[in-house]
Amino acid sequence: MSEVSRLPVVVSENWDWQMRGACRGMDAAVFFHSDNERGMARKRREELAKQICASCPVRLQCLDHAVAVRETHGIWGGLGEGELRQLIATQV
């Protein structure tokens, strides 16, 4: 089997975890803030997103992905933006 014919399988294996996410099919606005979201509204949305992540069967794969691509926007793997920035900073 050539390298090219194996490529779709490798890519699929890297992304299949997303199909099992607890967030699958949900409104992305739960996990990403709007431009003008502040204060308690933002805190409540982040808490809801983190609750969803807490029971997610692929939470660790999601977090690994966020760290690998240095994602600092939104809730990923149960961590908020500030928490992601701190974690990524330790990976340098």
Q: Which residue has the higher pLDDT, 16 or 14?
A: 16
29 is in an annotated binding site: no
- Helix, strand or coil, per DSSP, at residue 61: helix
Token representation of residue 13: 């294996």
Confidence of residue 77 (pLDDT cuts 50, 70, 90): very high
Neighbours of 58 (CB within 10 A): 20
25-59 pLDDT per residue, tens: 999 999 999 999 999 999 999 999 999 999 999 99
- 82 pLDDT above the threshold of 80: yes
The pTM assigned to this predicted structure is 0.80
| Count of beta carbons in the 10 Å neighbourhood of residue 91 | 8
Q: Quote the domain boundaries for residue 38.
A: 3-90
**Domain count within the chain:** 1
Q: Is 23 annotated as a binding residue?
A: yes
